[in-house]
Amino acid sequence: MLKRNGMELGKHTLQMTMPGSYSLKASFRIEPHEDLSQLVLEVRPINWQDLGTPRSLGMFSRGYRMGEEAFFKTEWDVALNLPDIKQKDFLKSIRALFDLMVTFEPYSNTLHFTPFNKLEENKASALDWSDKLVYVGSPQVAVSYRFGDFAQKSWFRYKQDETGGNGDSYLTVDNAQLEREKNMVELPFAASAESGWGIVVPLFSPLESREFDHEVSDIAARNGHGAADRERVLVHNASGDPMVREGWAIYERVKGRYDSTDGWCLRQQEGDFYQAGKGSPRLAVTGGEAQATLRLTRTQAETRPTLRLDFTPISFQVLLPTRYTSLQGVLEKCKGITPYFTLNVQDVQEYDPSIPIWLDQFQGYFYLNQITEFTGEGPTECQLWRL
């Protein structure tokens, strides 16, 4: 018997015809948004005479297993809700979202992620390498006017999904020599569609299982239906219910068990379900405070504060104008040089891409993009881009 706060939620019975060891595997239906923090599973004989007069009553084992949904105060499996990609591809997605520079620390086997925008903030701490600059084979430093593989219009996109929203945007470069337009980034996640109650995350919904006892055309027909307690009614057009986003819905008739104003409890709705493989994984961030209503007893419910999920802060329409400002400046100046420097071991070990390099010879700050094949003997070629 499964109980919460003394209220029976379900019961399974196993008939025992003779003394011995028995095992009973039972599953109980638990509705979304129910509070699982006070669940109690009782295992006991209904009639002790059925056991005869045993010397030992034996042992009862008990426990319950959750399904694929994430319920209040239960564990949520992160791995199952991420796309089937390699770890490095997942990290590449995070780097692309927030324009992060990645460096590897071999001594501690650690990856460091630093926002590209830190370069502007750290100009006051720039390293002066003017005295380290040397000319090898030519009094001129090689200059490049193309940074990476950017086009005149470089798109940053989320994966296309028919149930998703729109999080795409682009950076521009004023250079007619570049390709006119291209997709620079496409994430393995789809953009999330938002509404007043949060975001749609189809992957986290259960598989569709429409179990009902009766079916009617609309809410008015449901209200006039004489369904018995606990019977379920499928409403083909539930648009008359403000809690239903669209399409069909299934209601359970409740009489004194829940604090329902009209005697019906919404159990399922079409917007909660998607065919397998139809919805792509989503990303979201915690937003403002929201309220969640949890059923506690037959007649009591409690509203508790929780956090809503938002997508807008991680849309490229928001991220590119905020997280990519320094990179946009590099693309607009688009001047790279590959000079030689007399570097020592300390220069290389303390390399931090978020600290700019100052050069008197060019009267400017530069982003140190690469140190090429440092040997400790002779000049070392480096690649820098003007900030």
Does residue 295 fall inside a structural domain? no
180 and 93 housed in the same domain: yes
H/E element holding 364?
strand 364-372
56 and 137 housed in the same domain: no
The β-bridge partners of 304 are 292
Mean of the pLDDT values across residues 304-314?
79
| Tokens describing residue 146 | 């193309």
18 and 167 housed in the same domain: no
Ramachandran bin of 198, using left for φ above 0, alpha for ψ from -120 to 50, beta for the remaining angles: left
Work out whether strand 264-269 and strand 249-253 pair parallel, antiparallel, or are unpaired.
Answer: antiparallel
pLDDT at residue 249 in the model: 87
119 and 68 housed in the same domain: no
Give percent of the chain with pLDDT exceeding 90.
Answer: 13
Does residue 311 fall inside a structural domain? no
Pick the last residue of a domain from 13, 47, 76: 76
Number of domain units in the chain: 3
- CA end-to-end distance (rounded Å), the chain: 68
pLDDT at residue 53 in the model: 42
Give the span between the Cα atoms of 15 and 22, in whole angstroms: 10
Does residue 309 fall inside a structural domain? no
Query: Cβ atoms within 10 A of the Cβ of 235, count?
Result: 29
Does residue 261 fall inside a structural domain? yes
Helix intervals (H) in 209-309: 219-223
Query: Cβ atoms within 10 A of the Cβ of 311, count?
Result: 24
pLDDT at residue 272 in the model: 61
Does residue 300 fall inside a structural domain? no
- Decide: pTM greater than 0.75: no
Query: Cβ atoms within 10 A of the Cβ of 227, count?
Result: 19
| Tokens describing residue 115 | 């926002």
Distances (CA, A) of 67 to 30, 34, 211, 227: 9, 14, 17, 29
pLDDT at residue 69 in the model: 47
| Tokens describing residue 78 | 């992160």
Give the span between the Cα atoms of 333 and 331, in whole angstroms: 6
Confidence of residue 157 (pLDDT cuts 50, 70, 90): very high
Does residue 122 fall inside a structural domain? yes
146 and 224 housed in the same domain: no
Q: Compare 42 and 95 and report the one with higher pLDDT.
A: 95
Residue count (the chain): 387
Pick the last residue of a domain from 254, 272, 290: 272
Range of the domain at 118: 87-186+319-386
17 and 166 housed in the same domain: no
Express each pLDDT in 92-117 by its tens digit: 999 999 999 888 877 788 888 889 89
63 and 114 housed in the same domain: no
72 and 108 housed in the same domain: no
Does residue 82 fall inside a structural domain? no
Distances (CA, A) of 327 to 104, 115, 363, 387: 21, 10, 20, 8
Collapsing DSSP to helix, strand or coil, 87 comes out as helix
SS (H, E, C) 99-113: CEEEEEECCCCEEEE
